[in-house]
Amino acid sequence: MHQDPSDSPVHSPAPAHSTTTVERGSFCLARCVCGWSGPARRARDRARADAREHLREREQDG
């Protein structure tokens, strides 16, 4: 498992959610400190979009 160091974490205003992307072989997925993880994607940009969507959903919930 490899975390892309050039991929800065995306932070939400609420400290309970902080996301990053993680690479597994030729796939990339978004993960959050709350335990959520997105689907494996071949494109890093899609994984980042999953992370942004997760943060938006959490902001609407809270």
Q: Has residue 57 been placed in a domain?
A: yes
What type of residue is 17?
H
The number of folded domains in the chain is: 1
Report which of 50, 41, 42 is spatially closest to residue 20, judged by C-alpha positions. 50
Look at residue 58 and give its three-state secondary structure: helix
Lookup result for tokens 């809270």: 62
Q: Has residue 38 been placed in a domain?
A: yes
| Structural domain span for residue 51 | 10-61
**pLDDT for 3-61, tens place per residue?**
665 566 665 555 678 999 999 999 999 999 999 999 999 999 999 999 999 999 998 88
Q: Has residue 5 been placed in a domain?
A: no
Q: Quick check: pTM over 0.85?
A: no
- Other C-beta atoms lying within 10 Å of the C-beta of residue 40: 16
**3 vs 41: CA distance, rounded Å:** 14
